[in-house]
């Protein structure tokens, strides 16, 4: 009984079946609701996370709150390449000293990380931050004008469209291809070996490698 009361002090406890039970505390419920919105987490895992957090306030909640505040304050999207940047240090993508003649267009920064990890591609990245058909996505947010500027200013020879093999991804690729028609850059698209509905981020290195290697030229008709 004493042990039970002790656990009640933290307001979260496991019942005999190992299920977490919580009292209705607004702060905790709000936190669970927010955490369950994160990718890969449902209400059950969110409860476990919250339990871990409130049992480790000094070690976890305090630094987490401070880090979140820093991220909220300092991390923003780069208006030029679409990547994330710290306002304190600037954009990593835009500060690359190396000169490349290729640029790879991806939907998400996680796609860039996958492609970088696979070491398949050496060049610049442009992060759209979504697709044209994404709900609530405005065309201007995809930074396509900025992409066209970059292609011209950086004297880019090839623009590789690495959008997902979804209808939205392919519509976006078509729109970008059309926007680039007055530049001299060759526009290519990852090979159709991509699984239908495949998101770049979730592809293994082998599939990504063959998609890059077999990329098709989209402006063969205009040459
Ligand atoms: Zn940038």
What average pLDDT does this structure show over 113-134?
A: 90
Average pLDDT of the chain is 84
Residue 188's nearest CA partner among 82, 104, 110 is 104
pLDDT category at 164 given cuts 50, 70, 90 is confident
Cα 126 to averaged position of ligand 1 atoms, centre (Å): 8
pLDDT per position as a tens digit, 192-202 = 655 666 677 77
Cβ–Cβ < 8 Å for 129, 72: no
Cα 91 to averaged position of ligand 1 atoms, centre (Å): 5
Cα 125 to averaged position of ligand 1 atoms, centre (Å): 9
21 vs 114, which has greater pLDDT? 114
pLDDT per position as a tens digit, 200-223 = 777 777 777 777 877 878 876 544
pLDDT category at 133 given cuts 50, 70, 90 is confident
Cα 127 to averaged position of ligand 1 atoms, centre (Å): 9
pLDDT at 10 over 90: no
pLDDT per position as a tens digit, 103-121 = 999 999 999 999 999 888 9
pLDDT per position as a tens digit, 41-99 = 988 999 999 999 999 999 999 999 999 999 999 999 999 999 999 999 999 999 988 89
pLDDT at 184 over 90: yes
pLDDT category at 4 given cuts 50, 70, 90 is very low
Phi, psi of 20 (to 5 degrees): -80, 135
How far is residue 195 CA from its own chain's centroid? 19
Cβ–Cβ < 8 Å for 133, 172: yes
Cα 218 to averaged position of ligand 1 atoms, centre (Å): 26
pLDDT category at 136 given cuts 50, 70, 90 is low
What was the pLDDT predicted at 21? 60
Cβ–Cβ < 8 Å for 214, 193: yes
What average pLDDT does this structure show over 16-34?
A: 77
Cα 82 to averaged position of ligand 1 atoms, centre (Å): 6
Gap between the Cα atoms of 185 and 207, Å rounded:
25
Cα 154 to averaged position of ligand 1 atoms, centre (Å): 14
C-alpha distances in angstroms, 55 versus 2, 50, 72? 18, 8, 25
**160: its two tokens:** 């590789």
Give me the domains of the chain, ranges plus CATH numbers: 2-55 (1.10.8), 102-217 (3.40.1360.10)
pLDDT at 9 over 70: no
pLDDT category at 148 given cuts 50, 70, 90 is very high
């Amino acid at each position: 009984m004493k042990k039970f009361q002790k656990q009640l002090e933290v307001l979260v406890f496991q019942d005999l079946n190992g299920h977490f039970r919580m009292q209705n505390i607004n702060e905790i419920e709000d936190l669970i609701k927010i955490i369950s919105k994160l990718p890969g987490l449902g209400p059950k895992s969110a409860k476990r996370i919250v339990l871990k957090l409130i049992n480790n306030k000094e070690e976890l909640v305090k630094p987490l709150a401070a880090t979140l505040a820093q991220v909220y304050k300092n991390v923003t999207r780069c208006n030029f390449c679409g990547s994330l940047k710290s306002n304190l240090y600037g954009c990593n993508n835009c500060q690359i000293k190396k000169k490349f003649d290729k640029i790879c267009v991806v939907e998400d920064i996680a796609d860039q990380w996958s492609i970088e990890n696979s070491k398949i591609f050496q060049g610049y990245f442009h992060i759209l931050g979504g697709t044209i058909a994404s709900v609530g996505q405005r065309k201007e947010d995809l930074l396509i004008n900025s992409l066209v500027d970059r292609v011209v200013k950086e004297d880019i020879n090839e623009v590789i469209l690495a959008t997902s093999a979804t209808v939205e991804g392919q519509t976006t690729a078509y729109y970008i291809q059309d926007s680039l028609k007055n530049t001299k850059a060759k526009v290519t698209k990852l090979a159709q070996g991509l699984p239908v509905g495949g998101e770049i981020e979730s592809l293994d290195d082998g599939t990504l490698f063959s998609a890059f290697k077999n990329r098709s030229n989209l402006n063969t008709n205009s040459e």
